[in-house]
Structure 1
């Protein structure tokens, strides 16, 4: 809670029919050395969201093509829902066309939908690797497109020009609101119909939000201020979607959009899982988003009252759940029923504990004694025949606790040893519910 003003970064959505190079362009944009600030991968190889900047202007980028690699929807529905969702949330639409193919019927579908847009749209004709091939793009004018940028996402051709155009058309950053310094901001995340609004209603003791057994009945993200035990909280409800849909694909994509927006503002996320269904691929995506955004997390296993007794008595349920949601295996698990109220009264105790851990600062002396003991018992492995030495550790940041270790071999510390250090950190210090970041720096400073 170091900042009182929350910034709302403009959102750019990449749209277009499949196989035009949306994901390639996304990866190219976020790998620009000037541009990259922070990227948030999805599960396994999927990369769906990044915060980036170009020419001093920050914005968020969403690859709408990366949300469902299986692509088992009907083709026209996939295109329409992809763009509808982007139009709901994005400040600017980046439409990609394939310059190596002639105009396809599905390009016409995309363009027809974009004609109704009252937001800036940039058209980019992709896969043009050389200037001599640009004449092949002239046929795209018959789609009614007056201007487009010819690019090669694979080779990076004209990508800088595209970025210049993006930042030129983006709206200025505007504060969402002024937030009091002593308020803990909590995002309520989960798939549609998992019980987010029901939970908040139970907390408030009123029908503050419209609830329904039909997924997607909360029309907008709703903020609720609450004071409990003389402490102030802001609950950010991300439930549902803005339009009715029976297509799981589009519902899941929209929940990622909403989670992205919510996590920009939150300190802690309540990740709600349907206890009857168990963790799903989409839950794992949200878990990865929480961890990579560096937010605290509490896993709420909701609808526990509906779980059969023989399953509810199974040992090791928490561990099984964390194995499936490995990105937030640091999070406490609480079994609740938002409908009956079981366990709901304990949630704020957990929020307080996690926020304390999330914002704690550990003394430098304590950190260095800890590091010395660890290295003495289990030193890092030899790297290229030379010993890796750790000289000093400090904690420059809280609210994701960040620790800097000064060493003689930055690139020599293997990932498994970094994971070992993180595990030892969690054993030594009370860090339940918060991700931590370990940064390795050279012992030498630039002169």
Structure 2
């Protein structure tokens, strides 16, 4: 599949063009320069041909962060087959743009100059100023108004080989793989900068509290699981800012995929990358670091919304903590998102190489004390920067996914249930005898077990927790929540 890289200086409309071509609101866009920092990759359909589209960060320089963004963007361009060099048509041609454009032309690749923000007929004359770039492959467009993009699409189509033609069924599969396809009418939506309905953490919030009976699926409001997805594990990397999430992603992929810098909040757009490990497909998503609400600035609030969406679609979470620093209440609240989404989980203590190893037992105990609601989650200590023990994570992910996906035979469940009932009988309620007839697992990811009873409301949460412990002792549910639903016979 051909790779098409969109490249250019900050704020020229690269992410907007990327969204237009993939027909999804995928890349976060804003007027703030430097919104895109990592490389976004998606399959785009150009008429009836498919190509991999790359949205890159702006080619700016100055601080450590922007230098790294520029380095990764140019690296993506060098690896692409087709390059769309984008400039702002409202300004004058920049010497730096011309220099980079000439450099890219020497690579022997197909390179086009895309002059964006030619929003009306009066601005067409501005296009002549850009012919000094010395190319005939020049396209004056307006992404915001969807003007004059047909010629650009035709140019791209001619450079994608016929072997990449796809069927309508294949196209529909690509379009529906993530979000629903969007129309031009709904594409550009004005966002209310004051809207903050998706913030969860306030600087004055009290310590996080969690319900004792949260392991029981009374609402049964858990996302449905597709059996065809058995071999695909979606892993969200989550944590507060500057704990090393992007470094961990790079270490897991054995390549520099995500921009890493000392600037807090470097990652804005969630970045996903898929690998195949032991015949399993693992998609890692590096999410934006989460802060307290009072410290959130500008475009970061959209990043938080994307992080929430990623967690809703994930199967597993790597909860990254900084082992070299004291843990915060915010760490607990972020982990609470994992618990509320019923994800399998691994707690990652990063920066172990610079932590106080003599305090190992104390640090582990503090994690267990703070994250009691994630008692099922294993803990791994590692250093994403040095690579120490990172490779062990791949096998841990497969192991936890097996537990998350497993289905226990009804006969085995009821053997454990009967032993538990004999050891501790069910307490009566107001003189009424409470009976559990049998248990059966009715869903996976996460495992959900129905307890068929005469009076479901009479099952006290302490007895439920007792049963959960007995099932965990008998079966390997490490790393996964275990949910129960008390129901009557014949009740769905």
Are the equivalent residues in 2 in contact too, given 1:67–1:253 (CA < 8 A)? no
Query: Which has a greater percent of strand?
Result: 1
Are the equivalent residues in 2 in contact too, given 1:187–1:270 (CA < 8 A)? yes
Cα displacement (A) at 1:426 = 1.0
SS at match of 2:313: coil
CA distance in 2: counterparts of 1:14 and 1:68, whole angstroms: 20
- What corresponds to 1:124 in structure 2? none
276-285 or 423-432, larger mean C-alpha shift: 276-285
Choose which of 274, 277, 286 in structure 1 pairs with 2:322. Answer: 274
Q: TM-score, normalised by structure 1?
A: 0.59
Deviations 1:216-241 (A, max 9, x none): 11231111011234432111110348
CA distance in 2: counterparts of 1:245 and 1:441, whole angstroms: 40
Are the equivalent residues in 1 in contact too, given 2:451–2:486 (CA < 8 A)? yes
SS at match of 2:364: helix
- What corresponds to 1:442 in structure 2? 488
- What corresponds to 2:197 in structure 1? 63
Q: How does 1:116-155 map to 2 (within 5 A)?
A: none
Q: Which residues of structure 1 form unaligned runs of 5+?
A: 18-61, 73-178
CA distance in 1: counterparts of 2:451 and 2:367, whole angstroms: 32
Matched, 1:305 2:332: no
CA distance in 1: counterparts of 2:399 and 2:477, whole angstroms: 9
Choose which of 371, 375, 385 in structure 2 pairs with 1:325. Answer: 371
Q: In the superposition, relative to structure 1, how do residues 65 and 229 fare at CA in structure 2: closer, same or farther (>3 Å)?
A: closer
Matched, 1:190 2:190: no
CA distance in 1: counterparts of 2:353 and 2:470, whole angstroms: 36
SS at match of 1:289: helix
Q: Which residues of structure 2 form unaligned runs of 5+?
A: 1-172, 183-188, 207-227
- What corresponds to 2:4 in structure 1? none
Q: TM-score, normalised by structure 2?
A: 0.53
- What corresponds to 1:415 in structure 2? 461
Q: How does 1:386-397 map to 2 (within 5 A)?
A: 386-397=432-443
- What corresponds to 1:130 in structure 2? none
Give the RMSD, CA atoms, in angstroms.
Answer: 3.4
CA distance in 2: counterparts of 1:302 and 1:432, whole angstroms: 21
Choose which of 268, 283, 288 in structure 1 pairs with 2:331. Answer: 283
Are the equivalent residues in 2 in contact too, given 1:256–1:286 (CA < 8 A)? no
Are the equivalent residues in 1 in contact too, given 2:201–2:292 (CA < 8 A)? no
SS at match of 1:184: strand
Deviations 1:160-200 (A, max 9, x none): xxxxxxxxxxxxxxxxxxx9762211111111111011011
Q: In the superposition, relative to structure 1, how do residues 383 and 232 fare at CA in structure 2: closer, same or farther (>3 Å)?
A: same
Q: In the superposition, relative to structure 1, how do residues 264 and 7 fare at CA in structure 2: closer, same or farther (>3 Å)?
A: farther
Cα displacement (A) at 1:412 = 1.1
CA distance in 2: counterparts of 1:64 and 1:246, whole angstroms: 10
CA distance in 1: counterparts of 2:326 and 2:472, whole angstroms: 26
CA distance in 2: counterparts of 1:397 and 1:245, whole angstroms: 36
- What corresponds to 2:311 in structure 1? 263
- What corresponds to 2:431 in structure 1? 385
SS at match of 1:257: helix
SS at match of 1:411: helix
Aligned residues: 290
